[in-house]
Amino acid sequence: MSFLENIDGANFPLHHSEIRRIPHHPREDRPSFPLEDTVEFSSAGRQLAETVGSSSFRAARIQAIRSEIAAGTYETRERIEGAVSRLLDILA
């Protein structure tokens, strides 16, 4: 008689007749699932991605921020208060 011990942390032996068998399903009986995920973006999403991702838009935004920093106008009281407010909302 064969016994299995310590299955899933159990401290008692199991007799082979107590083991539940899972039936085998041939491949053609198994449900078919897609092998990979797919994503579809709306036309507005694609347009936004193209606009934000374009190097000219990004370069212009970076240049504008650099100019504001150099002029000392980037860190305004309103921007700092807005950032602190958003941070406090996240932490609350």
pLDDT tens, position by position, 42-71: 998 888 878 776 677 778 888 999 999 999
Number of Cβ atoms within 10 Å of the Cβ of 74: 13
Residue 54, SS3? coil
pTM for the full model?
A: 0.36
Mean pLDDT of the chain: 76
